[in-house]
Amino acid sequence: MHWSALLAAALVASALARERLPRAFPGEPVWTYWGLGSVMASLFLVSLLIHEMAHVLVARRSGVVVDGAVLWALGGSTRFRGAARDPDTQLRIAGAGPLTSLTAALLSTGGAVCAAALSVPGPVGECVIWCATVNFVLAVFNGLPAAPLDGGRVLWAYLRHRGMDPVRAARAATTGSSLLGWFMLLTGLASLLLAGTLMGVWPTFVGLFLITVARTARQRS
């Protein structure tokens, strides 16, 4: 785990303890907000880990050697030794993460419904709802067709499967990166400057990362 992942978790815990939780449960002691925020930040890291482990397991089952997976501030990264044998294998590996996150989101949503039906204490239900939200965001965001996200790799594998050459497929996979990057950058800055919320830090850095990746890809092509 990269140190920046711990920094991201600390920012998540701080934003939850200072903003979301006091609104959801007014009048509680400060330590309650920080304790619950720390638990929810841990669920954020666990969700990232499960997402990356899905890539690792499918890659190993497909015969691809995995050097390791690293969690960092902007998500996760799995290091492979060499490329997948064919586009279909790449498609399975890339799609495993978003599908796993979507499954976790659906299971967590079911848990939240059960918690509400059984009148489980509010903080527990809040954690389950948070887990569902995080995994749903991971599934949708990583599924977007913009390199280097999983969706970009899925698009590349699909285009290669359809017979497109690797360079054109890679260019197509990075087309949406710049637009998505600028959208996230502006959204994050608006959250930070206008709404004054720390939750805008993550989309700001992700946006900068995607813009940089898109620019590098254009220069190489």
Half-sphere CA count of 1, side-chain side, radius 13 A: 12
Of the candidates 76, 152, 69, 141, the one whose C-alpha atom is nearest the C-alpha of residue 102 is 141
Per the CB < 8 A criterion, the answer to whether 74 and 205 are in contact is yes
What sign has the CA pseudo-torsion 15, 16, 21, 24? positive
Task: Determine the Cα–Cα distance for residues 99 and 102; give it in Å rounded to an integer.
Answer: 5
Active-site option among 19, 28, 52, 126? 52
Scanning the chain, the segments in alpha helix (DSSP H) are 3-15, 21-24, 30-61, 87-117, 122-142, 150-161, 166-190, 201-220
Give 6's contacts (C-beta < 8 A, 6+ positions apart).
none
Q: What are phi and psi of 78, to 5 degrees?
A: -105, 130
Tell me, rounded to whole angstroms, the distance of Cα 16 from its chain centroid. 18
Quick check: is 19 catalytic? no
Task: Determine the Cα–Cα distance for residues 63 and 75; give it in Å rounded to an integer.
Answer: 25
Task: Determine the Cα–Cα distance for residues 129 and 109; give it in Å rounded to an integer.
Answer: 7
Q: Which residues are catalytic?
A: 52
